[in-house]
């Protein structure tokens, strides 16, 4: 995972800047991806997937030749098959219910059953992670308040931001009548904001800490989403560009400091799983964002409008009333504003910016208490041994 590799390669005082450059490269990919994807779709949608095969092969070869292990891997590490299966079941149950609740009815038995299954399986998954030798989630890392809060805000940022691109694709193609390439170009402003601000915020985090920057970033993201609530059929292009730029800028200000803070408190031997957990939770936020957007949109739309808009045709020119679709967009963007606001509050409570050598600040009550996580005893408690000595050595330096 790139964040773990960057954390290993750079000293703590330069970590924010390095992760900012890493996020800048991701932003460049977000600009090129929709445009290239739109162009490839013209030759058949399968080409979007085939295009990634040679890139993946080159990446594998380059990683094998260039990357060097910074910490000795544990010999006994295996795969957490049971945990992976449980997490997949819980996530699929939640996604299915969110995405199809608006189409088939939120009171449908299998939609309700999906939510119930999620609520039953998720706690069992978390409990299991405290019992296995090589867990998918190392629950001991959640003892650290900064790690816990940082990952939670990362998930909420994914929930708030990712649905924007998904929804605007249908707006540009279904309402404005743009072709896939043009729609991809019109989505670029969000990525531009991310690309420009990520390295700047990362460098600032190295000097001034992460808490204020990450919190302000979440607030700015919410402001951009609030602006999109004003969207209408005839909204000028400059307004759509402006709100996307603001959302991207907010995410750029948030991402690098937040990632730097989260990865900085993970000891070297656990950076691989720490980075994997961060990516897993962030991507979970992305998935929830899309499923939630689909559910909110389809709840407010009749089938005729839904088919016309999702088909990518200019529904307005066909005499179809787009009012329900616009209303659904506004509701979905409002949900993003709420996620951003909650994320900003949590980010402000994260604690001081520090490195793993400086020790950990305990997580909030209810998350960890007496060596026991909310899901059950920590791995150290189960084994009857002391907690990881790399975590919890000294008093944390407080951030202004």
241-262 pLDDT, tens per residue? Answer: 999 999 999 999 998 889 888 8
Query: pLDDT tens-digit profile of 332-361?
Result: 999 999 999 999 999 998 866 555 555 555
What confidence tier does 71 reach under pLDDT thresholds 50, 70, 90? low
Most confident of 16-20, 67-71, 156-160, 310-314: 156-160
Helices (H), the chain: 2-9, 15-41, 46-50, 52-66, 81-104, 109-129, 145-170, 180-186, 188-208, 211-228, 237-264, 271-300, 303-310, 323-348, 379-383
Residue 181 confidence (pLDDT)? 84
Instruction: Give residue 306's pLDDT.
Output: 73
For the CA atoms of 62, 63, 66, 70, what is the dihedral angle to 10 degrees?
180
Residue 91 lies in a domain: no
| Cβ atoms within 10 Å of 133's Cβ, excluding its own | 11
Pick the range with the lowest mean pLDDT from 93-107, 265-279, 370-384: 370-384
pLDDT of residue 214: 93
Asked whether residue 114 is assigned to any structural domain, the reply reads: no
**How many domains would you assign to the chain?**
1
The secondary structure of residue 216, as a DSSP letter, is H
The Cα 293–Cα 278 span in angstroms is 23
b/e code 14-27 from CB counts within 10 Å (16+ = b): ebbbbbbbbbbeeb
Query: Residue length, the chain?
Result: 400
pLDDT single digits (tens) 115-163: 999 999 999 999 999 988 888 888 889 988 899 999 999 999 999 988 8
Average pLDDT of the segment spanning 195-199: 88
Which of 155, 153, 152, 260 shows the shortest CA–CA distance to 217?
A: 153
Using only C-alpha atoms, the chain has a radius of gyration, in whole angstroms, of: 22
Task: Give phi and psi for 136, each to the nearest 5.
Answer: -70, -35
CATH code assigned at 142 = 1.20.1250.20
- What integer pLDDT is reported at residue 74 of this predicted model? 56
In a domain, 400, yes or no: no
Residue 146 CA to residue 168 CA, distance in Å, equals: 33
Torsion of Cα atoms, 205 then 206 then 208 then 209, to 10°: 60
What is residue 68's predicted lDDT score, i.e. its pLDDT? 72
Residue 169 has pLDDT above 80, yes or no: yes
87 in a structural domain: no
Classify the phi-psi angles of 258: left when phi > 0, otherwise alpha if psi is within -120 to 50, otherwise beta.
Answer: alpha
- Give the mean pLDDT of the chain: 80
pLDDT confidence tier of residue 91, bands split at 50, 70 and 90: very high
Structural domain that includes position 193 = 2-67+134-383
Give the DSSP H or E segment for 51: none
pLDDT the model gives residue 297: 82
Of residues 304 and 42, the one with the higher pLDDT is 42
261: nearest Cα among 223, 217, 222: 217
Residue 376 phi/psi, 5-degree rounding, is: 140, -175
pLDDT in the model for residue 302 = 72
Highest mean pLDDT among 60-69, 77-86, 286-295, 297-306: 286-295
**362 three-state secondary structure:** strand
C-alpha to C-alpha distance for 88 and 94, rounded to whole angstroms: 10
What is the phi/psi pair of residue 144, to 5°? -85, 125
Q: Above 60 in pLDDT, residue 375?
A: no
Token duo for residue 173? 């193609």
Supply the pLDDT for residue 250.
94
Task: Band the pLDDT of 37: cuts 50, 70, 90.
Answer: confident
DSSP-derived pairing of the beta strands 372-373 and 368-369? antiparallel
> How many CB atoms neighbour CB 285 within 10 A?
24
Q: Which of 65-79, 91-105, 381-395 has the highest mean pLDDT?
A: 91-105
pLDDT tier, 64 (very low <50, low <70, confident <90, very high otherwise): confident
Asked if residue 149 is part of any domain, the answer here is: yes
Average pLDDT over residues 36-42: 81
Please check whether residue 81 lies inside any domain of the structure: no
Q: Is 359 left (phi over 0), alpha (psi -120 to 50) or beta?
A: left
Q: For 24-40, give the DSSP string.
A: HHHHHHHHHHHHHHHHH
Q: For residue range 311-329, what is the model confidence (pLDDT) as tens digits? A: 665 555 566 777 888 888 8
pLDDT of amino acid 111: 94
Q: What is the C-alpha to C-alpha distance for residues 288 and 158, in angstroms, rounded to an integer?
A: 8
Structure tokens at 286: 């992305």
Q: Following CA atoms 12, 391, 148, 3 in sequence, which dihedral angle do they give, to the nearest 10 degrees?
A: 40
- Alpha-carbon gap, residue 203 to 211, rounded angstroms: 14
Find the mean pLDDT for residues 203-222: 91
Is the pTM value of this prediction over 0.85? Answer: no
């Amino acid at each position: 995972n790139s964040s773990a590799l960057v954390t290993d390669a750079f000293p703590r005082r330069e970590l924010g800047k390095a992760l900012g450059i890493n996020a800048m490269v991701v932003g460049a990919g977000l600009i090129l991806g929709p445009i290239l994807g739109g162009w490839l779709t013209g030759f058949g949608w399968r080409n979007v997937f085939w295009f990634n095969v040679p890139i993946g092969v080159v990446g594998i070869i380059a990683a094998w030749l260039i990357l060097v292990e910074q910490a000795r891997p544990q010999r006994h590490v295996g795969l957490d098959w049971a945990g992976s299966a449980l997490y997949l079941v819980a996530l699929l149950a939640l996604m299915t219910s969110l995405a199809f609740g608006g189409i088939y009815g939120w009171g449908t038995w299998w939609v309700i059953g999906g939510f119930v299954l999620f609520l039953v399986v998720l706690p069992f998954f978390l409990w299991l992670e405290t019992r296995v030798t090589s867990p998918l989630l190392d629950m001991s890392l959640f003892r650290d308040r900064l790690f816990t809060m940082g990952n939670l805000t990362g998930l909420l940022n994914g929930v708030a931001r990712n649905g924007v691109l998904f929804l605007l694709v249908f707006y540009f193609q279904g309402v404005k009548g743009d072709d896939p390439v043009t729609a991809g170009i019109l989505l670029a402003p969000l990525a531009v904001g991310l690309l420009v601000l990520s390295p700047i915020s990362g460098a600032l985090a190295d000097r001034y800490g992460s808490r204020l920057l990450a919190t302000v970033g979440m607030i700015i993201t919410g402001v951009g989403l609030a602006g999109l609530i004003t969207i209408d059929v005839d909204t000028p292009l400059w307004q759509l560009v402006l709100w996307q730029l603001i959302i991207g800028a907010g995410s750029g200000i948030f991402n690098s400091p937040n990632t730097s803070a989260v990865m900085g408190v993970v000891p070297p031997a656990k950076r691989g799983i720490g980075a994997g957990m961060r990516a897993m939770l962030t991507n979970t936020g992305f998935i929830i964002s899309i499923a939630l957007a689909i559910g909110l949109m389809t709840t407010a739309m009749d089938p005729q409008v839904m088919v016309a808009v999702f088909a990518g045709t200019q529904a307005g020119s066909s005499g179809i009333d787009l009012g329900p679709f616009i209303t659904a967009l506004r509701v979905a963007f409002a949900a993003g504003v709420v996620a951003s606001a909650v994320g900003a509050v949590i980010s402000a409570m994260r604690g001081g910016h520090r490195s793993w050598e400086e020790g950990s600040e305990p997580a909030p009550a209810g998350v960890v208490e007496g060596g026991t996580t909310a899901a059950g005893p920590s791995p150290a408690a189960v084994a009857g041994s002391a907690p990881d000595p790399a975590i919890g050595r000294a008093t944390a330096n407080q951030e202004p």
